[in-house]
């Protein structure tokens, strides 16, 4: 397309528009000569614009930005005033467009608001005609939604086939040798495009040569709206209320802006076929409209075979959602596209008050992962129907996080999505899904989410979001806008899916970065967990990148510098994690799948001691590359796959083989007491290892109260949270145990919440029979470790009671007892048992600990049952802690 020379700029200008309707009044054309205007009104059957459909109402935005381009430009929009002596007070700022003709002359078109009319002034200069008797005519018509179909301005001018014809208006030559004329249009006729060409004729001979633009096309200017600005993308508002629309599509042959004044209608009220010359800059299509109209929502049609992969252009009728829309309307009946429209309104104001990000150090986090809808939609939540399953419902249950001693929540994807695809396949990236708002609309979802974040922050709880940027919904997301730019071609890389986003392509990278910044600045979120992060490492053509631009850009983006960024290499397509060496620049944390696998293997009796030891100490095989254990986000169960209860209850199917589960002797539900006791010990063991290991523990919603999906791996089979289950014996003891472990981590942060790895002198490993561990012997199923506290002398009192004691931790995955000899404690101190997962509730954990009697001088022995864990702490009678909560039996 044509571009502008560096010396020319598109500058802000004002334009006032009204509603668009058909009109029966004939336009007047003005002859301008020697600075005087002579009016001649012809009551001819002038062709008028009736849209091929109904006429719509609109609003638009205006940007205070300048656009510079290269030296091949033939069109300029500039701020100026067009005035006459008699009407100076009525003239407002105008939009001026400059064109070159195909034979070298210049055409200047100015569009301005004049009282209740719009005036279009056309001036032709430097045009070489054949002779002095040549006349110059303007052959013109107007259109809106289809540039090939002119529309009528009155009912009397119709042709038999209903199509409008062109109108010819003569120019007047002024004293400077320029050809000039002016056309007036009623305000109620706009908006539309004026399309015209020049015709030169000799004397009375009506036939003549046609003169078009340098592109061999008609000249085209918008009337009643502006050409707009290419940046920023999306819908934006200027202080005067005007709106700017901007959308990227490199491969679209045309883009139609569709405006609706009723959310219940199938068809738009007004469609504007954006001109590729005046309404396009590079690969961005744009237009500006004023706020005086009554349109409530908008979308786009993108035409052209290259906008959709492997499709003929049969879906050009789809109304597409603006990828940058901030407020989303409900679905359009019968639309083949996304079903959603962008709302033509500003984002609601919100009073954040004195809200601040908690900015918790990563090593201090204790994370609770949940699904917003499932968390409170069950009737047991006892919340009103309009609150249950929403952000507001989550806020109402804030005390549950405090009962568990959690200081961060990780929300499963909250972007807009289609029910058939699920939340891990979003259709939009800039708005929370409407269904999470109390009123089921976008504004209530936005406000209630902000209120949720504000209240969680006030209670010291951070908000992290799972985000899926590598895939979208199978249909109705970005498809149809420019598939060749947004998506990979079929079969590229390791994905045959048609909905895989080309994340490192520049426009997609910009979209993702803009989305992340938006959630941080507008919603005050504290971090993101990137689902299917391994796909962020693919290049334009699916090749592996060792330094992917998007991953690096996120790591160093100034807007995102203070938040948590976490890579999760789980793929939502095949429901399995992918191993990848993820580039991190010492800023990216990772969901540690190795932790999950090695801990599961150990407790089903098949893992190596070396693997368990590596996970306990912060997974140095992954995070010793300049990061540390705080960058390891650990889990034993998550939102897909098996729940914690199912992990110890189901294992006898081929589908479960890769999930490393063990049913403890019987498959599924059982009344066998021995099996149930074993399962209870295993659940305690998994939780104990999760919270005693270095790294950030993640608890999955429902695991604290034993929720089951019946052994199903399907995400759709996950059940809503049953609040009644918290009052069962299992729910009470498990919730208290988790709270105890979180409190223990905080109290012993010197050993259990470290940003750096433990020093070698702070660790002693023990095997059974007081022998060194046989690290690579798969038959060995017992491991113990002494974590030695640094002895920090107190300058005022150096008594041992003011020193933190060592921890002794033991794990027995064997099916027999193990006798443990504890190391000799410092003088005046003794070992106390804090945890033994084999004991009955409430005695299996203790805040102050139970003393261990000495079996021989200076040494204490302890008998561990099969499939159990134990924790001991060195202490003295004067170094007792007060429990932060009361253990209930």
What is the per-residue pLDDT for 502?
94
Nearest by Cα to 76 from 50, 96, 52: 96
Q: Work out the pLDDT band at 499, boundaries 50, 70, 90.
A: confident
pLDDT for 359 equals 96
Cα–Cα dist 34/173, whole Å: 10
Residue 635 pLDDT > 80: yes
**Which CA distances in Å does 610 have to 282, 696, 805, 818?**
58, 21, 26, 19
Per DSSP, what are the bridge partners of residue 94?
Answer: 80, 112
pLDDT greater than 60 at residue 178: yes
Separation between Cα atoms, residue 390 and residue 396, nearest integer Å: 10
Residue whose pair of structure tokens reads 């290259």 in the numeric block: 306
**pLDDT tier, 573 (very low <50, low <70, confident <90, very high otherwise):** low
DSSP code at position 463: E
Banded pLDDT at 377 (limits 50, 70, 90)? very high
CB 742 within 8 A of CB 405: yes
Arithmetic mean of pLDDT, 602-609: 94
What CA–CA distance (Å, rounded) separates 233 from 508?
A: 12
Q: Tell me the per-residue pLDDT of 262-306, one tens digit each, with 9 for 90 and over.
A: 767 778 888 899 989 889 999 999 999 876 567 899 999 998 856
Q: Are 246 and 232 in contact (CB under 8 A)?
A: yes
Least confident of 89-93, 465-469, 695-699: 89-93
| pLDDT (average), residues 830-859 | 87
Residue of 225, 220, 166, 171 whose CA lies nearest to 195: 220
Closest CA to 418 of 486, 350, 479, 465: 479
What tens digit of pLDDT does each residue of 644-660 get?
A: 999 999 998 888 998 99
- Reported as a pLDDT band with limits 50, 70 and 90, residue 90 is very low
- Give the lowest-confidence range in 104-113, 196-205, 209-218: 196-205
Sequence-separated (6 or more) residues with CB below 8 Å from residue 380: 722, 723, 724
Tell me how far apart the alpha carbons of residues 144 and 275 are, in angstroms, rounded to a whole number: 10
For residues 634 and 597, the answer to whether their CB atoms sit within 8 Å is: no
The Cα 509–Cα 515 span in angstroms is: 10
Residue-wise DSSP of 93-108: EEEEEEEEBTTS-EEE
Q: Hey, which residues does 410 pair with through a beta bridge?
A: 369, 464
Residue 530 near residue 569 (C-beta atoms within 8 A): no
- Region 354-379: mean pLDDT is 97
Cα 670–Cα 673–Cα 674 angle in degrees, nearest 5: 105
Asked whether 842 and 887 are in contact (CB, 8 A), the reply is yes
Q: Which of 330-339, 444-453, 559-568, 820-829 has the lowest mean pLDDT?
A: 330-339
Range 820-835 average pLDDT: 90
pTM, entire model: 0.83
Collect all residues with Cβ–Cβ distance below 8 Å to 718 and sequence separation of at least 6.
Answer: 371, 374, 639, 643, 709
Q: Give me the sheet containing 807-812, strands edge to edge.
A: 763-766, 782-787, 807-812, 868-875, 830-836, 845-851
Distance CA 670, CA 685 (A): 20
**Residue 845: in which H helix or E strand, if any?**
strand 845-851
Closest CA to 343 of 472, 435, 255, 441: 441
**pLDDT at position 880, please?**
54
CA–CA distance from 720 to each of 367, 375, 378, 568, 716 (Å)? 19, 6, 6, 24, 11
How far is residue 217's CA from residue 196's CA, in Å, rounded to a whole number?
9
The pLDDT mean for the chain works out to 83
> Is the model's pLDDT at 613 over the cut of 50?
yes
Judged against a pLDDT cut of 80, whether residue 670 lies above it is answered with yes
Terminus-to-terminus CA distance in the chain, angstroms? 77
Beta-bridge partner residues of 810? 784, 870
CB–CB of 838/789 below 8 Å? no
Of the pLDDT bands very low, low, confident and very high (cuts 50, 70, 90), residue 857 is: low
The candidate with the shortest Cα–Cα distance to 566, out of 575, 574, 555, 577, is 555
Quick one: tokens of 437?
A: 């708002």
Question: What pLDDT, on the 0 to 100 scale, is given for residue 9?
Answer: 32
In the structure encoding, which two tokens stand for residue 645, read together?
Answer: 């209860």
Residue 370 pairs in a beta bridge with: 411
Whether 152 has a pLDDT exceeding 50, the answer reads yes
Residue partners of 384: CB distance under 8 A and separation at least 6: none
DSSP string, 474-516: SSSSSTTT-HHHHBPPTT-TT---TTBB-TTSHHHHHHHHHHH
Higher pLDDT, 641 or 358: 358
SS (HEC) of 38-75: EEECCCCCCCCCCCCCCCCCCCCCCCCCCECCCCCCCC
For residue 408, name the pLDDT band (cuts at 50, 70, 90).
very high
Whole-number percent of the chain with pLDDT over 70: 79
Instruction: Map tokens 């006791």 to a residue.
Output: 677
- Verify cis geometry, omega within 30 degrees of 0, for the bond prior to 842: yes
pLDDT of residue 78: 39
3-class secondary-structure state, position 409: strand
Residue 399 pLDDT level (bands cut at 50, 70, 90): very high
Give all strands (DSSP E) within 376-501, no chain letters: 408-411, 462-467
Number of other CB atoms surrounding residue 290 within 10 Å: 25
**Tokens standing for residue 56:** 């719509």
* Among 22, 37, 74, 36, CA closest to 183: 37
The token pair that represents 785 in the structure block: 């470790």
The pLDDT value given to residue 1: 40
- C-alpha neighbours within 13 Å on the C-beta side of residue 419: 6
Does residue 633 carry a pLDDT above 60? Answer: yes
DSSP letter at 176? T
Residue 331, SS3 per DSSP:
coil
- Across the beta sheet with 859-864, what order do the strands follow? 818-822, 859-864, 854-856
Tens digits of residue pLDDT in 674-733: 999 999 999 999 999 999 999 999 999 999 999 999 999 888 888 999 999 999 999 999
The answer to whether residue 3 scores a pLDDT higher than 50 is no
Q: Which of 233-247, 539-553, 796-810 has the lowest mean pLDDT?
A: 796-810
- pLDDT band of 322, cuts 50, 70, 90: very high
Chain-centre distance of CA 169, in angstroms?
53
Q: Taking 80 as the threshold, does the pLDDT of residue 387 lie above it?
A: yes
Burial class from Cβ neighbours inside 10 Å (0-12, 13-18, 19+) for residue 783 reads: buried
Q: What would the two tokens of residue 415 be?
A: 């972007």
pLDDT tens by residue, 36-59? 333 333 333 333 332 233 333 333
Q: What local confidence, expressed as pLDDT, does residue 764 receive?
A: 95
Distance between CA 767 and CA 783 in Å, rounded? 5
Does 87 or 740 have the greater pLDDT score? 740
Q: How confident is the model at residue 531 (pLDDT cuts 50, 70, 90)?
A: very high
Comparison of pLDDT for 879 and 173, the residue scoring more: 173
The region of weakest confidence among 25-39, 745-759, 784-798 is 25-39
Residue 161: is it exposed, middle or buried by C-beta count within 10 angstroms (0-12/13-18/19+)?
exposed
Question: Half-sphere exposure (CA, 13 Å, Cβ side) for 342?
Answer: 31
Binned at pLDDT 50, 70 and 90, residue 641 comes out as confident
- Quickly count: other Cβ atoms within 10 Å of residue 95's Cβ: 24
Where is average pLDDT lowest: 438-442, 526-530, 726-730? Answer: 438-442
State residue 497's pLDDT score.
Answer: 64
Would you give the distance in Å from CA 744 to the centre of its chain?
35
Higher confidence at residue 179 or residue 188? 179
Which of 286-300, 364-378, 753-767 is predicted least confidently?
286-300
User: Which pLDDT does position 28 carry in this prediction?
Assistant: 42
User: Residues 47, 140: contact at Cβ < 8 Å?
Assistant: no
pLDDT score at 879: 55
- Following DSSP, what letter does each residue of 230-266 receive, concatenated? S-SSEEEE-TTS-EEEEEE-SS-SEEEEEEES-TT-S
pLDDT of residue 496: 54
The pLDDT score that the predictor gives to residue 685 is 98
CA gyration radius for the chain?
Answer: 35
d(CA 200, CA 209): 6
| pLDDT at residue 660, as a whole number | 94
- Cα torsion 731, 662, 613, 580 to 10°: value is -100
């Amino acid at each position: 397309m044509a571009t502008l020379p560096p010396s020319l700029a598109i500058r802000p200008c004002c334009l006032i528009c009204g509603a668009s309707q058909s009109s029966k009044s004939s336009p007047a054309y003005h002859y301008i000569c020697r600075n005087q205007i002579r009016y001649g009104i012809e009551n001819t059957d002038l062709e008028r614009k009736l849209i091929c459909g109904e006429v719509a109402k609109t609003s638009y935005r205006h940007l205070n930005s300048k656009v510079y381009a290269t030296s091949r430009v033939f069109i300029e929009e500039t701020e100026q005033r067009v005035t006459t002596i008699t009407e100076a007070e009525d003239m407002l700022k105008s939009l001026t467009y400059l064109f070159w003709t195909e034979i070298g002359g210049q055409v200047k078109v100015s569009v301005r608001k004049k009282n209740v009319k719009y005036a279009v002034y056309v001036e032709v200069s430097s045009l070489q005609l054949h002779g002095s008797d040549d006349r110059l005519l303007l052959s013109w018509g107007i259109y809106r939604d289809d540039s090939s179909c002119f529309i009528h301005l009155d009912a009397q001018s119709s042709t038999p086939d209903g199509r409008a014809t062109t109108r010819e208006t003569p120019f007047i030559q002024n004293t400077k040798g320029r050809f000039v004329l002016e056309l007036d249009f009623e305000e109620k006729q706009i908006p539309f495009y004026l399309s015209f060409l020049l015709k030169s004729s000799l004397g009375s001979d009506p036939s003549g040569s046609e003169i078009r633009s340098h592109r061999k096309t008609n000249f085209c200017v918008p009337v009643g709206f502006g050409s707009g600005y290419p940046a920023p993308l999306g819908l934006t508002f200027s202080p005067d209320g005007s709106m700017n629309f901007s959308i990227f599509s490199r491969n679209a042959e045309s883009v139609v802006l569709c405006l609706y004044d009723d959310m219940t209608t199938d068809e738009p009220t007004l469609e504007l076929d954006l001109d590729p010359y005046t309404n396009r800059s590079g690969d961005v299509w744009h237009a500006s409209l004023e706020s005086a109209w009554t349109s409530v929502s908008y979308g786009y049609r993108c035409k052209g075979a290259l906008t959709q992969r492997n499709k003929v252009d049969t879906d050009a009728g789809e109304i597409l959602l603006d990828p940058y829309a901030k407020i989303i309307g409900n679905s359009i009946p019968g639309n083949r596209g996304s079903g959603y429209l962008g709302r033509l309104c500003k984002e609601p104001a919100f009073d954040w008050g004195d809200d601040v990000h908690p900015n918790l150090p990563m090593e201090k986090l204790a994370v609770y992962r949940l699904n917003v809808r499932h968390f409170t939609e069950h009737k047991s939540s006892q919340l009103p129907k309009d609150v249950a399953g929403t952000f507001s419902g989550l806020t109402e249950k804030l005390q549950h996080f405090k009962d568990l001693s959690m200081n961060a929540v990780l929300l499963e994807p909250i972007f807009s999505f289609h029910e058939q695809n699920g939340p891990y396949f979003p259709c939009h990236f800039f708005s929370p899904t409407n269904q999470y708002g109390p009123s089921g609309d976008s504004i209530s979802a936005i406000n209630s989410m902000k209120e949720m974040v504000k209240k969680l922050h006030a209670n010291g709880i951070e908000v992290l979001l799972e985000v899926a940027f590598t895939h979208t919904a199978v249909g109705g997301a970005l498809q149809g806008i420019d598939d060749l730019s947004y998506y990979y071609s079929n079969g590229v890389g390791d994905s045959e899916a048609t909905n895989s986003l080309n994340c490192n392509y520049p426009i997609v990278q910009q979209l993702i970065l803009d989305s992340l910044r938006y959630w941080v600045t507008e919603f005050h979120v504290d971090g993101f967990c990137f689902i299917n992060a391994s796909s962020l490492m693919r290049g334009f053509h699916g090749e592996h990148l060792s330094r992917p631009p998007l991953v690096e850009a996120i790591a160093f983006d100034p807007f995102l510098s203070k938040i948590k960024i976490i890579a999760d290499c789980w793929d939502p397509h095949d429901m399995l994690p992918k191993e990848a060496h993820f580039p991190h620049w010492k800023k990216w944390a990772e969901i540690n799948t190795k932790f999950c696998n090695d801990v599961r293997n150990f407790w089903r009796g098949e893992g190596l001691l070396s693997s368990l030891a590596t996970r306990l100490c912060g997974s140095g095989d992954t995070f010793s590359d300049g990061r540390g254990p705080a960058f390891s986000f650990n889990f034993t169960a998550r939102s897909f796959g098996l729940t914690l209860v199912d992990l110890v209850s189901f294992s006898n199917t081929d589908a479960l083989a890769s999930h490393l589960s063990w049913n403890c002797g019987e498959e599924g539900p059982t009344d066998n007491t021995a099996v149930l006791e074993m399962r209870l010990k295993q659940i305690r063991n998994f939780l104990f290892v999760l919270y005693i290991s270095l790294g950030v523990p993640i608890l999955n919603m429902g695991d604290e109260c034993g929720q089951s999906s019946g052994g199903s791996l399907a995400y759709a089979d996950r059940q809503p949270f049953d609040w009644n289950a918290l009052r069962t014996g299992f729910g009470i003891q498990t919730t208290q145990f988790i709270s105890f472990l979180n409190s223990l981590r905080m109290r012993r942060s010197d050993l259990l919440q470290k940003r750096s790895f433990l020093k070698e002198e702070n660790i002693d490993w023990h095997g059974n029979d007081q022998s060194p561990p046989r690290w690579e012997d798969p038959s060995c199923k017992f491991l113990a470790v002494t974590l030695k506290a640094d002895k920090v002398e107190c300058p005022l009192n150096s008594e041992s009671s003011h020193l933190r004691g060592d921890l002794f931790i033991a794990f027995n995955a064997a099916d027999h007892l193990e006798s443990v000899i504890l190391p000799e404690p410092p003088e005046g101190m003794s070992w106390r048992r804090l945890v033994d997962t084999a004991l009955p509730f409430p005695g299996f954990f203790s805040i102050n600990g139970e003393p261990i009697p000495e079996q021989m001088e200076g040494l204490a022995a302890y008998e561990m049952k099969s499939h159990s864990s134990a924790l001991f702490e060195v202490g003295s009678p004067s170094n007792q802690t007060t429990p932060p909560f009361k253990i209930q039996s």
